[in-house]
Amino acid sequence: MHDAERGLFDLQRGRSLLITTEADRAGHHGTLVAAVEGLRGHTVEELKSIGGRGIRLALTRHRARAMGLALDGKAIPISLGLNGMSRPDDILRLSTAPRSMDRPSDVRGASEPEVGGLTLTRLSRLIPAVVGVSVSTEGTPELRTALESGAILRVTTNQIDELASDARVKLTHVSEGPVPLEGAEDARFMFFREGNGILEHVAVLIGEQDRWPDPVPYVSIQPV
């Protein structure tokens, strides 16, 4: 699961990420993906260079429904060919604007790694859309070297599912200090960070804790 958490940061920073299925334990085949939000031109070129095939865009079932691209009447995550589209702004527009294109000829259900990429973007608070290419590490020395050096991270779909199913919110106390406020000069701010490092939380304490009034007991009123 730790690799999946690292994958969150890589996608946020505009890096590509190799996602493989659990069935391919050796990681010889997978999909190299990058988040559409924050996508840069050199990342698109990297996908094209390593993949050697047309780049595909994976979208959630909600976006598929908005685009009128339900397959066999079912709203499922979809994958569509970009037909040479490579400008990040155009790809972003396609991923967000309502009914932004006519029904494409090259559309299918999203693969398991593509769905994993969509899950990671959702957990990263990014627009749930990824671009990607199918790759083989055996036939792509450039990708194999990047994986060995850590320049590109490999994550399995099982690791992503495990991360997504962990609903617990783990907070770590980061720091605290006095921050005088108007009308509350004795205020103190406490900063916390979630375990995955994505979100931060702030607690504002006013006054000395030993002088706080006792909390009001919780009362539940039941209908009669």
**Contact (Cβ atoms closer than 8 angstroms) between residue 78 and residue 127:** no
CA-based angle 115:121:127, to the nearest 5?
Answer: 110
What pLDDT score was predicted for residue 33?
A: 95
Q: What is the mean pLDDT of residues 181-192?
A: 88
Q: Which token pair is 203?
A: 């607690």
pLDDT at 88: 92
* Number of neighbouring beta carbons within 10 Å of residue 45: 11
Do residues 158 and 73 touch, judged by C-beta distance below 8 A?
A: no
pLDDT in tens, 25-71: 666 789 999 999 999 999 998 888 887 668 999 999 888 887 777 67
Judged against a pLDDT cut of 60, whether residue 168 lies above it is answered with yes
pLDDT band at 1 (very low <50, low <70, confident <90, very high): low
Least confident window among 8-22, 28-42, 111-125, 199-213? 199-213
Q: Taking residues 115-120, what's their average pLDDT? A: 94
| Alpha-carbon torsion, ordered 78, 116, 35, 7, to 10 deg | 180
> What tokens were used for 33?
């993906």
- pLDDT at position 11, please? 92
Q: What is the per-residue pLDDT for 158?
A: 92
pLDDT of residue 101: 57
> What is the fold, at CATH topology level, of the domain defined by 2-165?
DHBP synthase (3.90.870)
Q: Over the chain, what is the mean pLDDT?
A: 84
* Most distant pair of Cα atoms in the chain: their distance: 72
pTM for the predicted model, two decimal places: 0.77
Determine contact, residues 11/35, Cβ cutoff 8 Å.
yes
CB atoms within 10 A of CB 130: 33
Name the residue with higher pLDDT: 68 or 148: 148
**Res 144 pLDDT > 90:** no
Question: Smallest Cα–Cα separation from 3: which of 154, 146, 218, 117?
Answer: 154
DSSP, residue by residue, 83-124: TT---HHHHHHHHHSTT-SPPPSSEEEPPHHHHHHHHHHHHT
Domain residue limits, the chain: 2-165, 171-211
| pLDDT tens for each residue of 63-101 | 888 777 767 667 789 998 888 888 999 999 888 876 655
Cβ 71 vs Cβ 107: under 8 Å:
yes
pLDDT of residue 102: 61
146's CB contacts (< 8 A; 6+ apart) are 50, 152
Show the CA angle centred on residue 3, arms to residues 151 and 131, nearest 5°: 65
Q: What is the DSSP letter of 211?
A: G
Q: How far apart are the first and last CA of the chain?
A: 48
